[in-house]
Structure 1
Amino acid sequence: MKVNDLIKGDTGHFHTVKGDQTVFHALQQMSAYGVSAIVVMADEMPVGIFTERDLIRCQILFPDKQIDQVTIDKVMTSKLIVAEPQDSVDAAMAMMIKARIRHLPVVGNKKIIALIALEDLVKAHVGALTQELHYLKDYITDLQDAVHD
């Protein structure tokens, strides 16, 4: 299964904020959309991602400031690790595990076209394994029936 197959459905939708907006604003958006990560944009280009982990970093780096006093660009993760639509789900999952990240932007035509979560990849992987298991069970049943005939 390819990443592109995964993002054709409901998976992969993402929301954005600007780096000069506050951490509080990002959290409001994340809460409103029910997401745990949001893409940070500047001049219509992705420059980072803000996640729940970055909120913790904000509290450590700026212990004397409120979250409405710190801009996202000060605490966001600016090194984006990305997948491409033609990448396999297994490769994307391996990339996320190696980098210890839970959200992976998908880039096509030099733009982010989706944001997938590790949970999405695990669900797809489990679904594929479940299908394979059913196929193998049917195959074994057919073999057993053929032997008994």
Structure 2
Amino acid sequence: MTVESILKHKGGDVVTVRPEDSIEATASLLHSRRIGAVIVKDEAGAVVGVLSERDIVRGIAQGGAGALSRQVKELMSGNVVSCRLHDSIIEVMGRMTDRRIRHLPVIEDGRLVGMISIGDVVKRRIDEALLEADELRRYIATG
């Protein structure tokens, strides 16, 4: 199973913001879309960061409610860790665990084609395990 298999079920829709957008507006966007992170793209459309709920909470913890008036570029994670369509689910799980991140942009040939979360990865892995169990049951039943 690969990242591509996750995106086939989930779709490639990605919510993006600009570095100059406010944290308050972005937090509202996260809430209304019921998502945990957004991709930050510059004027040229290049991925320059990821802003997660965790980044916002960290900003509020350090700067109080005033953090909401700051710009996305001040709180985003700028060292973007990404994956590719043909990366395996196991490889991506390891990367997310090692880096302690919950969201990965999917970048193929320099272009953003989707984003996956740890929830997407775990769900796909569970589906894969259930399929394997069903196949084993069928194999055993047919002798």
Number of equivalenced pairs: 142
Larger radius of gyration: 1
Aligned to 2:70: 70
What residue is the counterpart of 1:53 in the other structure? 54
Q: How does 1:43-122 map to 2 (within 5 A)?
A: 43=43, 44-63=45-64, 65-67=66-68, 69-122=69-122
Q: Quote how far apart the aligned CAs of 1:142 are.
A: 2.1
Tell whether the 8 Å contact from 2:36 to 2:52 is kept in structure 1 after alignment: yes
Secondary structure of the corresponding residue to residue 64 of structure 2: coil
Aligned-partner residue type, residue 119 of structure 1: G
Q: Is the 8 A contact 1:12 1:116 kept in 2?
A: no
Amino acid at match of 1:3: V
> What SS is found at the alignment partner of 1:49?
strand
Correspondence list, 1:105-144, <5 A: 105-143=105-143
Indicate the SS of the match to 1:8. Answer: helix
Query: In the superposition, relative to structure 1, how do residues 66 and 6 fare at CA in structure 2: closer, same or farther (>3 Å)?
Result: closer
- Whole-angstrom distance in 1 between the partners of 2:21 and 2:92: 30
Distance 2:85 2:65 in 1: 42
C-alpha separation in 2, matches of 1:38 and 1:66: 17
- Is the 2:19–2:73 contact (alpha carbons within 8 Å) kept by the matching residues of 1? yes
Amino acid at match of 1:62: G
CA RMSD of aligned residues (A): 1.4
Correspondence 1:15 to 2:15: yes
Counterpart AA for 1:128: E
TM-score, length of structure 1 as denominator length: 0.89
Q: Comparing 28-37 with 117-126, which one deviates more in the overlay?
A: 28-37
Alpha-carbon separation, structure 2, partners of 1:131 and 1:28: 38
Alignment deviations for residues 52-75 of structure 1 (CA, whole Å, 9 cap, x no partner): 1011121133236251x2111111
Give the superposition deviation at 1:112: 1.4
Please list every run of 5 or more consecutive structure 1 residues that lacks an aligned counterpart in the other structure. 144-149
CA distance in 2, matches of 1:60, 1:6: 34
